[in-house]
Amino acid sequence: MESWLGKPVAENVYKKIEEGVAIVRAKKGRPPGLGLLLVGENPSSQVYVNMKGKACEKYGLYSKTITLPTTASFNDVSNAVTELNTNPEIDGFIIQLPLPSHLPERTLLDLVDAEKDADCLAASNIGRLVLGVPEFLPCTPSGIMEMLEYYKAPVSGKHVLVIGRSQIVGRPISILLSLKGVDATVTLAHSRTKNLNELLKSADGIVAAIGVPGFIKASDCKAGSWIVDVGVNRVPADNEKGYKLVGDVLCDSTDHLHAMTPVPGGVGPMTIAQLLSNCVKAALV
C-alpha cells in the first residue's frame, strides 16, 4: 500500500506561492497580505492561527491577526471584518472557525468581501463553486485535489465515496470531484447513511471527513481502493500530551488498499498551503 504524504505536495504549492509573491511585490511594491480573525480562546484555533502566521512569515507574505475575546459581540466581530475588508494591505482573510456559540457564523461569513474570501466560505463563493466557476477554491478540498493529481489517483469515471457533509470539506469536495474534467461519480454519505458498509465495498476511492475517530474500518473498504483521511481527532493516550491524533479511519487492515493518507502528515500540510495560495491569487487580480 502506498502512503500519500502531504508534505511533498505542499512543497510544490509553496514554490508557486514564492513565485507569486515575487510577482505581487514587483507589481504592487508590497507582499500579499493575509488577515486572520480569531474570536475566543479555542486552543486548536489558536494553534492553527499561529501556524498560518508563521507560514506567511516563511514564504514572504504579510499577515495581520485580529484577536477578540470569547465575549465579543456581533458588532465587535462585524467591525473587525469591515476593517479587514477595507484594509488595502490585506488581499485575503479568514474568520477562524469555530466561532463562540452566541455568534451567527453564517451571517458573519457572508460579511466577508467575496474578493477577499480566502477560505471560500461566503455564500457567493460557494454558489460560484456549485456553478463550476469558482473565484477561489476551499482550502482543504482543493488540497485534497492537489494530492489526488500529484499521486495520479484513479478518479475519472470512478466511484468516489465522500463521508461527511460539512460546508468546509464534505460538500465542496463532492462538488470538485464531480466537475467536468475530473469526472468522478460521487456518493455523499454521512452518519445516518443506512448502507454505508455496502458503499465502502463498492467505492474505488474514499474521502473520510466526518470528524469521528475510527468511524470506518479500512478492512471494510474495497480491495484496490484509495482513502483520503481528513479526520484529525484527539483521543486519550499514555504520553506527555495525554492524547494522540487519529483519523476517521481505523487502520485495522490496509494491505488490500491501493493507497491511504496518514494522520497526521497527510491532508494537514495542504490546508495552509492552499490558504496562502488563495491569498496570492487574490493579490494578483
Residue in 86, 120, 53 with CA at minimum distance from that of residue 281: 120
CA dist 120 and 135 (Å) reads 8
Helix (H, G, I), strand (E, B) or coil at 127: helix
Residue from 220, 229, 94 nearest 173 by CA: 229
Reply yes or no on whether 96 is catalytic.
Answer: yes
Contact 82, 108 (CB under 8 A): no
91, 117, 119, 204: the catalytic one is 119
Assess whether 119 carries a catalytic annotation.
Answer: yes
**Within 10 A of 283 (CB to CB), how many other CB atoms are there?**
24
Q: Do 270 and 149 form a contact (C-beta atoms < 8 A)?
A: no
Pick the catalytic residue from 91, 96, 222, 281.
96
Active site residue 76: no
Residue among 52, 116, 222, 281 flagged as catalytic: 52
All three cell numbers of 190, joined, read 454521512
Phi, psi of 46 (to 5 degrees): -60, -40
Q: Which of 114, 109, 94 is nearest to 48 (CA)?
A: 94
The catalytic residue positions are 52, 96, 119
